[in-house]
Amino acid sequence: MSVLLNKDSRVIFQGFTGQHATFHAEEAMKIGTKVVGGVTPGKGGTQHLGLPVFDTVEEAVQATGADVSGIFAPPPFAADAIMEAIDAGIKTIVVIADGIPVQDMVRVERYRLGTNSIIIGPNTPGIITPGVGKVGIMPSHIYSPGRIGIVSRSGTLNYEAVAQMSDLGLGQSSSIGIGGDPVNGTDFATVLKAFEDDPDTDAVLMIGEIGGPQEVEAARWAKKNMRKPLIGYVAGLSAPPGRRMGHAGAIISSESDTATAKIDMMEALGMFVVRNPADIGATVLRAIKS
């Protein structure tokens, strides 16, 4: 899928020399991701993993032509790092950090207005295009090239879905985690549109969870605009109201936030819905055969 991560993407990592970024940059390079360098303020001019380190994102972009950045800065510094990437003209910004203050993301989203940057996350496992590369923390060995697009709020539930699909011989065109926070950069509908326009994708699996309106908004968008089959699951059928279920954004604040309400709406809007999380793979298979 060409809009977010393709064979021409040139990737940098912010917070490059840190332990997590180092590990995940190496993992990304192992599967062929075109990593061109990284940024760690104060370490500019040095080399890391055989690649140049820069003090600022602007410098990195000028020297390497980077257009994708994986942000591994810790939560208190992540908002600044994201805005630096936007300022430098990075097109796809993947934010791994879990725990960014929500008002920081409100400001980041305001700053992004009018630019061409797309923010994936925060609190996301990232993006993977099997056979091309990844920017994120997902275990790449479980994914395989194929023609199903996946978009999810949760990381591990994404892996679960991939495993069920693999058992049935289904691979992925791309898998994108939009993250588990209440305010995120890219919503479901935006990613659905990218998959709808992608010639390498035949059907899309959307994995949501309790809290917020975006699953239903995406289903409404899809009913009007999408021709490819769309399969949906919403986690948290058994979650009690008013409790934050691990993800900052996974909380039932009103009736429309519940898994049942969302699934019912998605079904009414013509989607293929999965009620039992063990049936995700089978439902995808049924959808593409229909």
Q: Which stretch, 4-12, 31-39, 49-57, 210-218, contacts other proteins (CB under 8 A)?
A: 210-218
CA angle 101, 133, 52 (to 5 degrees): 75
Q: Does 186 bind other proteins (CB under 8 A)?
A: no
Q: Does 99 bind other proteins (CB under 8 A)?
A: yes
With residues binned 3-state (H G I as helix, E B as strand, rest as coil), the percentages for the chain, rounded to 5, are 35, 20, 40
Smaller CB separation from other proteins, 62 or 103: 103
Using the rule CB under 8 A, which residue among 52, 155, 229, 232 binds other proteins? 155
User: 32 phi and psi, to 5 degrees?
Assistant: 100, 5
Rounded CA gap, 20 and 162, in Å?
Answer: 24
Rounded CA gap, 5 and 9, in Å?
Answer: 6
Q: Which stretch, 38-46, 83-91, 105-113, 190-198, contacts other proteins (CB under 8 A)?
A: 105-113
Q: Which of residues 107-146 bind other proteins (CB under 8 A)?
A: 107, 109-110, 125, 137-139, 142
Is cis: bond before 122, omega within 30 of 0?
Answer: yes
Q: How far is the CB of 157 from other proteins (least distance, A)?
A: 3
Smaller CB separation from other proteins, 21 or 53: 21
Rounded CA gap, 181 and 19, in Å?
Answer: 24
Q: Does 179 bind other proteins (CB under 8 A)?
A: no
First to last CA, the chain: 23
Smaller CB separation from other proteins, 43 or 223: 223
Q: Does 225 bind other proteins (CB under 8 A)?
A: no
- What's at 120, amino acid-wise? I
Q: Which stretch, 35-43, 64-72, 97-105, 197-205, contacts other proteins (CB under 8 A)?
A: 97-105
* Number of Cβ within a 10 Å radius of residue 3: 16
Tokens of 214: 């975006």
48 part of the active site: no
Smaller CB separation from other proteins, 141 or 227: 141
Q: Does 163 bind other proteins (CB under 8 A)?
A: yes
Smaller CB separation from other proteins, 59 or 87: 87
Rounded CA gap, 19 and 96, in Å?
Answer: 14
Q: Which stretch, 55-63, 127-135, 221-229, 238-246, contacts other proteins (CB under 8 A)?
A: 238-246
Given CA atoms 161, 167, 168, 170 in this order, what sign does their dihedral have?
positive
Q: How far is the CB of 121 from other proteins (least distance, A)?
A: 14
Q: Does 235 bind other proteins (CB under 8 A)?
A: yes
The answer to whether residues 21 and 38 touch, using CB atoms and an 8 Å cutoff, is: yes
Using the rule CB under 8 A, which residue among 105, 120, 135, 205 binds other proteins? 105
Rounded CA gap, 249 and 106, in Å?
Answer: 14
- How would you classify residue 38: left for phi > 0, otherwise alpha for psi between -120 and 50, otherwise beta? beta
The residues that are catalytic are 247
Residues that bind other proteins (CB under 8 A): 75-76, 99-107, 109-110, 125, 137-139, 142, 152-160, 163-164, 180, 182-183, 207, 209-210, 212-214, 217, 235-240, 242-243, 245-250, 253-255, 259, 275-278
